[in-house]
Structure 1
Amino acid sequence: MKRFRVLTKFLLFMLSAVLVLAGCSKESSSGKQEDSGKGEPYEVSMAYITFTKIDDLPLVQEEINKIVKEKINATIKLVPINGANYQQQTNLMLTGNEKLDLLVTSSFFGYNTQAAKGQLVALDDLLKSNGKDILEVLPEHLLEGNKVNGEIFGIPSMRDWGSYYGYIMRKDIVEKYNIDLSQVKTFTDLDAVFKIVKEKEPALTPIVNTGQGSTVTTVLAGGKFDVLGDSLGAVSFKTEKMVNMFEEPEYVNAVELARKWFQAGYVLKDSATSQEAAANIVKAGKGFGYFSHMKPGFEVQEKGITGHEMVSVKLSDVYSYTDAATGFNLSIARNSQNPEKAMEVINLLYTDKDVMNLLANGIEGKHYEVKPEGVISLPEGVAESNYVFGQWQIGNNFLTYPWEGNDSDYWEQMKQHNDSAIFSPAFGFTFNPDPVKTEVAAAMNVLNQYRVGIETGTLDPDKSLPEFNKKLKDAGLEKIIAEKQKQYDEWKKK
């Protein structure tokens, strides 16, 4: 009897322990355990685009993880991938079994296709359960503009979603030769500037745009078309119809001007094949400037990359395209072993000022110092930072400190800039390429063969442009445009 009482007590003790443990590890609605801050933190791997090696990345990652571990019992593993290899490498990661939780996705890198193929996790339910704070700060039209087949697969970065086009250049050279930028009202007015630089500074190429960024023609034709990610059928701002941009007069004129500049020696000779970012070429002392889409504070941003004081000329209105929503997003990969925790990390990137400033600017006191007026600068005695991060691609940039040279109300200026934008007639439209995927694949091969060469001025447009358009049509471009127009018309009705 005594032995029975002892056994009974032991069984009751074990049952109580089991119940306590069960209470401490409740199942979440998704079937995963909620750790409530207990247990080993889940490591969220995050792939993003980089153009330069960041020496102090491990130090910054360590500081970020002190906060992230405390708040959501997770850590972040930052996975930088060079922009030149980004699409290929992330596609390999998504199609394989490599551990990947978060990645920067983009309409430039096949966001719609990745979503349609099931390589990305639909985020609608996760936003409501693990990302509620994002819904409070992110404008609704950006989320709506990011849907593929009615579902959200990426959270757009909060940055400039309007942009204007222009040319940015070294300020010291402008001042050295008394170049009057007030006389530059149009792209063709830059002829006189390029001529001076070519003659006076033969070691500096006036235009160093390469295939790794905005080509000369991309900028010259900016504001005329919404290219909808792949440029295989673009919406004309003028007619609001789907057109073959490569045959439109605005594009042809831009190509001819790019060719004229190339022949004059104003454009980098290997611009069509160079894998180097334009800003890095200026930093290396080989370039004067480059064309780009711009925003408030662009000169300060580029100074941090090039190491030179920069000055720019604005040559277009402010436009907002569909890629303002789909251009740079954080998505959850289908490979993720814990999508809920990955969404909690995204949630922090839109709400936590400390995390975003670490990611964007590095460690206070080492990579920057805060000035009394609320802007930041390099710490005293530091000539160049060992941490330069492309923050525009990730999270809520409105939480970050503006750099010295910008006003303290920089983000208010950015809001006004965004509000002034002329929106694309196709803003919010996403194309499902499945009905014409064979034609899209064939046409993309043609694009890869011709486009950069034509748009940098390297190829003679009199010969190459007709060849380019013929091969696009042979690949099925007209069928692609018809399908896009059909989907676009249906979208507009809704």
Structure 2
Amino acid sequence: MLRFTKQTYLAFALVILLLASACSSGTDGESVAKPGDAQGESEQATNLTMAFIGIGTFTDIEEVQQAINKITLEKINATVKLVPIDVSAWQQQVNLLLTGSEPLDLLVTSSLFNYSTQVSRGQLIELDELLEQHGQGVIEATDPITFNGTKINGKVYGVSSFREMVADYGFIARKDLLDKHGIDLSQVKSYADLESVFRIIKEKEPGISPIVQRSTTNAVATELLASQFDSLGDGLGVLKMAGESTEVVNLYDTEEYRQAVEQARAWYQAGYIMPDASTTQESNTSLMKANKGFGYFSNMKPGFEEQENSLMGYEMEAVRLTEPVGGSTGPSAFMLSIARNSKTPEKAMQLMNLLYTDADVMNLLVHGLEGKHYVMGDNGQIKPPEGGASGYSFNQWEVGNNSLTYTWEGTNPDQWERIKEFNRSGIYSPALGFSFDASPVKTEIAAVTNVVNQYKAGLESGSLDPGTITEFVDKQKKAGIERIIAEKQKQLDAFLAANQ
């Protein structure tokens, strides 16, 4: 459900500088003096460190941090050092932090990034007692299905951020071209109904591809299948969302997969999908902005059209073709945890509690400084300052209670309530909360992943003949897919038994 871009070596240098600064300024649990009370006594403020995935712009992070610390000093007698780490270096750098002695209190964790392994290694602190003592605001702000969806063996090691936990799926396209050719997307009731739409664009808009892919990993068949299966984290062994079965199956050996690949192939041969779809490095955003694309398949949420309008440079219109569904890792995709390195876990929990209860702290973290990174509009929503915002941007889906934050002009003022209702309306996987520990089959996963990388983009973009699926599956079996599925089934059965 979530998308982001990658950048690498500069982030490593930034992390080293930040951690060096943290050590020299007492972020390893040392204290700094806070002004005394009327009797002249003085308290010692605790310095905390919070690491998160550094997707955004952080030139002004020190100023934002200072503003946050004015509040946290007053409310919990603590300061926080914000440490962004580039996504491409995230797993390596967090592993170094968790296995070393560097100061680390709060950090973003994810079922996409070895969460269950971190728990099994004792690198994350169990939070249940700390939540009861210092995190009641966290509990009250988190929907029970989301709160329980991150537990491992019935214990809490991470708290999910507030964001959409489910997604509906469909197709989104340029409204100017829809209007120009009299296309009414409200009449589209299935993926098959899009055939006539694509045909019109192909015939009447030369040079514009009816379908552009979001990326080679989000190919056409991938999107057609997304609502039908729970990936169980890595997609190597999945659950069918329909029905009551909890049998783990090989996605690539299902009839649903073959049908989706055949549909993609038919659209590719008809010229509706770009010829280089399996190899292009251009994103749907760049293709749309360059007037090379009509639309694309995607997961969606309330406010999705408004979000895409600003990204694509065109007014966009969407048709949703599935009910909202949520997989096993929805709540655990982005969480906040307390590292074993923390010397003051009670203070770390108090800071976490502020991220779920204090609107001032969350707006600073998410939006930066008013007047510099945003300005308040007349309707209570925010907008970029004159000349545009620069110096600070933060991907807010990572941490905290985002429903406390301002919404941007151009989005629905009731966006957060819409997200809450959207989450409540979703159909959730029976494996909700399951997090696969891949360590017992890591060799097989590496081998099968290599096979998947050889075939997946070509098959799912339509550029490879569906007859290749048989060869694809045979190579997966030789690489160990059946051992992966057996291990995942074993862990899932244990999880389900423990959570009846």
TM (norm. structure 1) is: 0.80
User: How far apart are residue 356 of structure 1 and its match?
Assistant: 1.7
User: How far apart are residue 297 of structure 1 and its match?
Assistant: 0.8
Alignment of 1:65-464 (within 5 A): 65-72=69-76, 73-82=78-87, 86-87=90-91, 90-91=94-95, 94=98, 100-198=104-202, 200=205, 202=207, 206-211=211-216, 214-239=218-243, 240=245, 241-267=247-273, 271-272=277-278, 278-279=284-285, 281-283=287-289, 287-336=293-342, 338-379=344-385, 381-382=386-387, 387-463=392-468
Give the structure 1 partner of residue 473 of structure 2. 469
Does structure 2 retain, via aligned residues, the 8 Å contact 1:216–1:258?
A: yes
Q: Distance in 2 between matches of 1:54 and 1:243?
A: 43
Alignment of 1:470-489 (within 5 A): 470-489=474-493
Secondary structure in 1 aligned to 2:112?
helix
RMSD: 3.4
The letter for the 2-side match of 1:259 is R
User: How far apart are residue 91 of structure 1 and its match?
Assistant: 4.5
Change in Cα spacing, 1:277 to 1:166, as seen in structure 2 (3 Å) is: same
Give the structure 1 partner of residue 18 of structure 2. none
The letter for the 2-side match of 1:462 is G
Change in Cα spacing, 1:104 to 1:276, as seen in structure 2 (3 Å) is: farther
Identity %: 46
Q: Distance in 2 between matches of 1:227 and 1:112?
A: 16
Aligned residues: 459
Secondary structure in 2 aligned to 1:253?
helix
Does structure 2 retain, via aligned residues, the 8 Å contact 1:368–1:377?
A: yes
Does structure 1 retain, via aligned residues, the 8 Å contact 2:29–2:46?
A: no
Q: Distance in 1 between matches of 2:393 and 2:415?
A: 19
Give the structure 2 partner of residue 8 of structure 1. none
How big is each residue's C-alpha offset from its partner over 1:132-171, in whole Å with a ceiling of 9 and x where there is no partner?
3211211233232212344322211111112101223333
User: How far apart are residue 453 of structure 1 and its match?
Assistant: 4.0
How big is each residue's C-alpha offset from its partner over 1:174-202, in whole Å with a ceiling of 9 and x where there is no partner?
34444322232222333344444455262
Change in Cα spacing, 1:284 to 1:32, as seen in structure 2 (3 Å) is: same
The letter for the 2-side match of 1:411 is W
Runs of 4 or more consecutive aligned structure 1 residues displaced over 6 Å after TM superposition: 31-36
TM (norm. structure 2) is: 0.79
User: How far apart are residue 298 of structure 1 and its match?
Assistant: 1.3
Secondary structure in 2 aligned to 1:152?
coil
Does structure 2 retain, via aligned residues, the 8 Å contact 1:210–1:456?
A: no
Does structure 2 retain, via aligned residues, the 8 Å contact 1:157–1:394?
A: yes
The letter for the 2-side match of 1:189 is D
Farther off after superposition, 232-241 or 285-294? 285-294
Q: Distance in 2 between matches of 1:450 and 1:486?
A: 28
Does structure 2 retain, via aligned residues, the 8 Å contact 1:205–1:288?
A: yes
Does structure 1 retain, via aligned residues, the 8 Å contact 2:31–2:45?
A: no
How big is each residue's C-alpha offset from its partner over 1:395-422, in whole Å with a ceiling of 9 and x where there is no partner?
1121122333443333222222222111
Change in Cα spacing, 1:174 to 1:476, as seen in structure 2 (3 Å) is: same
Could you tell me which runs of 5 or more consecutive residues in structure 1 were left unpaired when the two chains were aligned.
1-30
User: How far apart are residue 221 of structure 1 and its match?
Assistant: 0.9
Secondary structure in 2 aligned to 1:243?
coil
Change in Cα spacing, 1:361 to 1:273, as seen in structure 2 (3 Å) is: farther
Does structure 2 retain, via aligned residues, the 8 Å contact 1:375–1:407?
A: no
Greater gyration radius? 1
How big is each residue's C-alpha offset from its partner over 1:301-358, in whole Å with a ceiling of 9 and x where there is no partner?
2334444433221111111221221122123344555544443332222111122223
User: How far apart are residue 295 of structure 1 and its match?
Assistant: 0.9
Give the structure 1 partner of residue 9 of structure 2. none
Farther off after superposition, 55-64 or 311-320? 55-64
Q: Distance in 1 between matches of 2:279 and 2:349?
A: 38
The letter for the 1-side match of 2:409 is E
Does structure 1 retain, via aligned residues, the 8 Å contact 2:58–2:393?
A: yes
Does structure 2 retain, via aligned residues, the 8 Å contact 1:168–1:290?
A: yes
Change in Cα spacing, 1:276 to 1:224, as seen in structure 2 (3 Å) is: same
Does structure 2 retain, via aligned residues, the 8 Å contact 1:243–1:481?
A: yes
Change in Cα spacing, 1:226 to 1:43, as seen in structure 2 (3 Å) is: same
Secondary structure in 1 aligned to 2:363?
helix
Change in Cα spacing, 1:97 to 1:254, as seen in structure 2 (3 Å) is: farther
The letter for the 1-side match of 2:435 is T
Does structure 2 retain, via aligned residues, the 8 Å contact 1:377–1:404?
A: yes
